[in-house]
Amino acid sequence: EIVMTQSPATLSVSPGERATLSCRASQSVSSNLAWYQQKPGQAPRLLIYGASTRATGIPARFSGSGSGTEFTLTISSLQSEDFALYYCQHYYDWPRTFGQGTKVEIK
Amino acid sequence: QVQLVESGGGLVKPGGSLRLSCAGSGFNFNDYYMSWIRQAPGKGLEWVSHISRGGSSIHYTDSVKGRFTISRDNAKNSLYLQMNNLRAEDTAVYYCARGIGWDYFDNWGQGTLVTVSS
């Protein structure tokens, strides 16, 4: 099983600042990586797939990068609605696994 | 628009059974792979099972193999998860999600809570 490790667990950022979230895979997953956003009491929402392709309707301030074992989700200028939990997920082999999440909170 | 609505959750004793349903609308249900993903209270996401468009190909995470059965009825635009021999560690919100191939999940339902407790 591929283990996905996200860091940091919590990221404190001021509105308007940049947020950089990391996701590391225990072995290469090529570019088979997705990012999701989850707000309290809501279902996750797909942000990024293929490591760097934004899903439909996702604002350009969200960007993904990386390949192999190291991936980054960047939110260029945090808006109030971006404070949430973020998960990465690989789809390289079975089982599909998620990281434990990074909480982006208001500083 | 795409809608996925889960139902069937509730409180069940250890060793009991429950059947979850997910009704899809707003898209051609039989064109998509479908999945169940769960989230224990206060915890992260765990993929549970995945089924191909016609239902002939299925995958499960190891912890539910032999206990859970995923199925679908394309005529009814519905996905199911039969859960048997439930354990306390199966307690979670269960989400139905639309898969893009076998890969990632582009639409999710709001979830249904399953609580396994005596």
Give contacts of B 86-115 with A, CB under 8 A. Answer: 95, 100, 102-111
Q: Closest Cα of chain A to B51: distance in Å?
A: 13
User: What is the per-residue pLDDT for B48?
Assistant: 98
For the stretch B42-71, pLDDT in tens is 999 999 999 999 999 999 999 999 999 999
Nearest residue in A to B58, CA atom: A94
Q: How many angstroms separate the CA atoms of B118 and A2, rounded?
A: 34
Q: How many angstroms separate the CA atoms of A82 and A17, rounded?
A: 11
User: What is the per-residue pLDDT for B116?
Assistant: 98
User: What is the per-residue pLDDT for A10?
Assistant: 98
The partner residue sitting opposite A91, judged by closest CB among B62, B95, B102, is: B102
**Do B82 and B17 meet the contact criterion of CB atoms below 8 Å apart?**
yes
User: What is the per-residue pLDDT for A67?
Assistant: 98
Nearest residue in B to A58, CA atom: B106
Average pLDDT over residues B86-108: 97
Which phi and psi (to 5°) does residue A80 adopt? Answer: -60, -35
A102/B contact by beta carbon, under 8 A: no
Q: Residue A58 to residues A31, A45, A49, A61, A82: CA-CA distances in angstroms?
A: 19, 10, 11, 8, 11
Residue B20 DSSP class: E
Which phi and psi (to 5°) does residue B26 adopt? Answer: 85, 5
User: What is the per-residue pLDDT for A68?
Assistant: 98
Q: Which residues of chain A have pLDDT under 50?
A: none
Mean pLDDT of chain B: 97
Residues recorded for chain A: 107
At residue B103 the predicted structure's pLDDT band, cuts being 50, 70 and 90, is very high
At residue B72 the predicted structure's pLDDT band, cuts being 50, 70 and 90, is very high
Q: Residue A52 to residues A75, B2, B90: CA-CA distances in angstroms?
A: 13, 24, 33
User: What is the per-residue pLDDT for A63?
Assistant: 98
